[in-house]
Amino acid sequence: METALIIVDVQNDFCEGGALGVSGGADTAAAITAYLRDNGWKYAAVLVTQDWHIDPGAHFSPEPDYLDSWPVHCVAGTDGAELHPGLAPVVKAGALTATFRKGRYEAAYSGFEAILADPEAEVPGTTADAGEALDGAEGESLPEWLNTRRIHAVDIVGIATDFCVRATALDAVRARFDTTVLPRLTAAVHPATVPTVLGELRRAGVTIDEDA
């Protein structure tokens, strides 16, 4: 069975020093890179997702509750939306197969809402005309991409365990992929909730690999 690794939202704004940095974000980026160095051979594809916001409405708030609303983060074309430098060895080694972006005009927690980025497209300088020029605006969705390549299993890592990793894993199961989360290669917004989140994922049919 062909398996893909999905690296969820390991971006500057979600790591320490970013607009919505979580504790352990940079360490997670480094740990994923180390994991791929030893285990990349297991995967038919290595994919990354990125939050890539233009105008996500109430997802951005000046008074965020950190559950449904958040500070401005991962704005399309900004440094905060770029992959964290801890993943640079993976990028330079050519280990990444494809990049998928999500959340242009909505929250889009799940990587399964993301569409394939077009590396040739130009990112505009302002949000006013961003919709027409953004990477992959009419691209292939992540589940379409996996199905076309007959990939039937996904391992999921990244940020944040309790939000975008969780949502991606739940959607992967709903889409009938054999789904595994590697929690040691994730970081959470609310670490105290992680046992509850992992329990929810197990009940939904996700395998939790505590040893990876």
Positions annotated as catalytic residues are 9, 102, 164
What DSSP letter does each residue of the chain carry, written as one string? --EEEEEE--BGGGSTTSTT--TTHHHHHHHHHHHHHHHGGG-SEEEEEEE-BS--GGGB-SS--SSS-B-S--BTTSGGGSBPGGGHHHHHTT---EEEEE-SSS---SGGG-EE--TTSPPPSSSTTHHHHSTTTT--BHHHHHHHTT--EEEEEEE-IIIIIHHHHHHHHHTT-EEEEEEEEEE-SSGGGHHHHHHHHHHHT-EE-TT-
CB burial readout 160-174, b (16+ within 10 A) else e:
bbbbbbbbbbbbbbe
Q: Count Cβ atoms within 10 A of the Cβ of residue 154 and give its class: 0-12 exposed, 13-18 middle, 19 or more buried.
A: buried
